Amino acid sequence: MKKKFALTPSEERVMELLWQKKRPMTSVELAEHAEEEQWKSSYVYILIRSLLKKGMIEVCGSVQYASQYARQFRPLLTKEEYAAKLALSLNLNSSSVSKVAVALAEGASADSEQIIAQLEDMIQQLRQKAEE
């Protein structure tokens, strides 16, 4: 049986920060935002190590803070890719994938015509990949 893929709520919160900022963030910046969560900086570093181990983030540089350097991190998956990976970890078979897509589209509060247009574009892209 396939191992379930999931992040803890705290790991998801760190990922949410990275997804919202849309730029690499240092451990120092993540720790500053963690004050809102009332996390100690040592806990933030534990979360960072865990996310690195799970392949959710990567080190992409460093920035000097006074006399020290802080590593910068960026997500390796978009929020949508994470949601897909989470759903697929539930052992969905190939026929379930389309049903999940329909359920998501029906549950979305966005304009249905816009969703239909996006789905049609995705279907066309999938057909092109299948023909290659």
Write the pLDDT tens digit of every residue in 30-44. 888 877 778 888 898
Looking at the predicted structure, is the pLDDT value of residue 124 above 70?
A: yes
pLDDT digit string, tens, across residues 65-118: 778 888 999 999 999 888 888 877 777 776 777 777 777 777 776 677 777 788
Which pLDDT score, from 0 to 100, does residue 1 have?
43
- CA 46, CA 22: separation in Å to the nearest integer? 22
Question: Quick one: tokens of 127?
Answer: 């057909």
Can you tell me the mean pLDDT for 14-24? 93
Q: Is the pTM of this model over 0.85?
A: no
Classified by CATH at the fold level, domain 9-75 comes out as Arc Repressor Mutant, subunit A (1.10.10)
Residue with the two structure tokens 């247009």: 117
